Amino acid sequence: MARPDLLGRLAIRTADRERAALLRRARAVEHADGPWLEVDGRRLLGFCSNDYLGLAQHPQLIAAFKRVADDEGVGSTAAHLVCGHRREHAMLEEALAEWTGRERALLFSTGYAANLGVQQALLGSVDGAVCVQDKLNHASLIDGCRLAGAELKRYPHSDVGGAARQLASRSEAPALLATDGVFSMDGDVAPLRELAALAAREGATLMVDDAHGLGVLDAQGAGSVADAGLGVSEVPVLMATLGKALGCAGAFVAGSAALIEGLTQFARPQVYSTALPPALAAAALAAVTLARQEDWRREKLSGLIARFRRGASELGLPLMASATPIQPLLLGSADTALATAQALEALGLLVTAIRPPTVPAGQARLRITLSAAHEEADVDRLLAALERVRPTIIGA
């Protein structure tokens, strides 16, 4: 009997997705100028970037990158534990730890790698461990648990009672309770105080992925955990990324010295990956400084969010509840979401249609994201365009 052809099976799955009109393809952005993106020769006003504070093209970040690149070159050339850990990495880790109110921080190449590494280190060598997670957690949290070999138990979105029942069902097991801080597709914030109280009662370790909260929430932008008034004792494991509000790339985990020392020894995605380019670490350090000092960016962003939500409400649009830069317009069918995105593009706006399997069937949406790089006139232009395509949306 012949072995199944793995490449053939992959091709069949791809064809199935194409028949369902769910095939996804990357589009090359030819030039970026703040929120303006040149795609296929057209200049489009983008509302789909995670550059929440408008820092990705900030001159201070560019200058920091160039200064180190001119002196050190581009690549770090090795993993951190070999010879890839440079002065810029150490300085960035110190700044991230201080910003988030923790003893130490550890850099990772991506948020995906960080979530895999943390769970592999915490759960991978523990017999009978369980990881309890929100059903809408990022894919990297889900995959991290599965790859660690722990039992994955999920609870309904933001349902603290559901999380309590899942923990109680394995009351003797070592347990990690993991949640997004800000959910990437819905834009809402997890009930962190209630989850922290639950973790304390149940003796579970709470981990928060704050990729979309860092820089945006809290008076100094320290994220959803700080905004909830929680510290390292309540949330021992904090992960956040450098490629969203900070406009760079990479990620970090912050916590106690013991946590970071353990991850340095056992988090395989960090141990066996080439370190971030030192020039990129220098740019990220400049971004941290700006994010902490320039409160006007968060204030402006908050004003734009309020302006957009007010206008969308006046239009009667099916906007989901979110006070963050992520403003999902729930349209239901994938066809409607795609058609609406195409109609907006014809009007000069780039807004991404999010379809299954990224979101559940029947919950396709436009994931509208706002940035401090936008102006009020940009938001008004988006609202005017949505009003023009409103008959398609309301009829969905």
CA-angle at 52, arms to 50 and 53, nearest 5°: 140
Closest CA to 297 of 307, 308, 287: 287
- Give CA–CA dist 348/331, Å, rounded: 20
Burial class (CB in 10 A: 0-12, 13-18, 19+), 197: middle
Tokens 């395989």 label which residue?
268
Binding site residues for substrate, as ranges? Answer: 24, 138, 358
Q: Report CA torsion sign: 280, 260, 116, 362.
A: negative
Given 244, 273, 322, 374, which residue is catalytic? 244
Given 49, 76, 184, 224, which residue is catalytic? 184
What strands, in cross-sheet order, belong to the sheet with 251-255? 104-108, 251-255, 237-241, 205-209, 175-180, 130-134, 151-155
Q: Catalytic site residue 66? A: no
Contact 282, 88 (CB under 8 A): yes
Return the biggest CA–CA distance within the chain.
67
Given 212, 300, 322, 371, which residue is catalytic? 212
- Give CA–CA dist 265/122, Å, rounded: 11
Q: Catalytic site residue 58? A: no
Binding site residues, as ranges? Answer: 24, 111-112, 138, 184, 212, 241, 358
Burial class (CB in 10 A: 0-12, 13-18, 19+), 6: exposed
Binding site residues for pyridoxal 5'-phosphate, as ranges? Answer: 111-112, 184, 212, 241
Q: Catalytic site residue 184? A: yes
Q: Report CA torsion sign: 352, 353, 354, 357.
A: negative
Distances (CA, A) of 252 to 94, 283, 287, 310: 11, 15, 14, 35
Residue 195 token pair:
């989850």
Cα dihedral 201, 203, 270, 98 in deg (nearest 10)? 50
Q: Which residues are catalytic?
A: 184, 212, 244
